[in-house]
């Protein structure tokens, strides 16, 4: 089974802190994604990566950055956390290529910024 592991289920941070959310997948997937989930808005894509050291902005990248130094790990960084970044963050991964387009998700990190 594909396993996508997010390092924390719950996280509480203070405004202005630098926050790292970590995601690791064990299936040698090329693609990795970070989404933000908010009630009534569904999931919105923040950033994605289709290869090591490659990244592309999603729909809501402002206030976030990402890092992918190894194929299995994709980190989401909040440079200076703000209260409007309180949310559920979901990581996903998928194989590259047009056919294998199923995304597998982690359990999510619920971040509260106080």
Partner 1 sequence: AQTVTQSQPEMSVQEAETVTLSCTYDTSESDYYLFWYKQPPSRQMILVIRQEAYKQQNATENRFSVNFQKAAKSFSLKISDSQLGDAAMYFCAYRSDQGAQKLVFGQGTRLTINP
- Cβ contacts of residue 99 below 8 Å, gap of 6+? none
| Residues within window 61-90 making contact with partner 1, judged by CB under 8 A | 90
What are the angstrom distances between the C-alpha of 74 and each of 10, 19, 30, 48, 49? 18, 14, 11, 9, 8
Q: By C-beta, is 40 or 62 nearer to partner 1?
A: 40
Q: What is the CA radius of gyration of the chain?
A: 13
Minimum CB separation from partner 1 for residue 81, in Å? 23
From 40, 62, 69, 84, residue interacting with partner 1 (rule: CB under 8 A): 40
Using the contact rule CB under 8 A, the part of the chain among 13-21, 32-40, 69-77, 79-87 near partner 1 is 32-40
Q: By C-beta, is 50 or 63 nearer to partner 1?
A: 50
Tokens of 89: 């963050």
Using the contact rule CB under 8 A, the part of the chain among 20-28, 62-70, 78-86, 94-102 near partner 1 is 94-102
| Residues within window 44-63 making contact with partner 1, judged by CB under 8 A | 44-45, 48, 50, 56, 58
| Residues within window 12-31 making contact with partner 1, judged by CB under 8 A | 31
């Amino acid at each position: 089974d594909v396993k996508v592991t997010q390092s924390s289920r719950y996280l509480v941070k203070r405004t202005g802190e630098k926050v790292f959310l970590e995601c690791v997948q064990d299936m040698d997937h090329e693609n990795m994604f970070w989404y933000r989930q908010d009630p009534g808005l569904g999931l919105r894509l923040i950033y994605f990566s289709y290869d090591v050291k490659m990244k592309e902005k999603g729909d809501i990248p402002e206030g976030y950055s990402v890092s992918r130094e190894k194929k299995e790990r994709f980190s989401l960084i909040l440079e200076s956390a703000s209260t409007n970044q309180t949310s559920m963050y979901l990581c996903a991964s998928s194989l590259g290529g047009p056919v294998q387009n199923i995304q597998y998700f982690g359990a999510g990190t619920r971040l509260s910024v106080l």
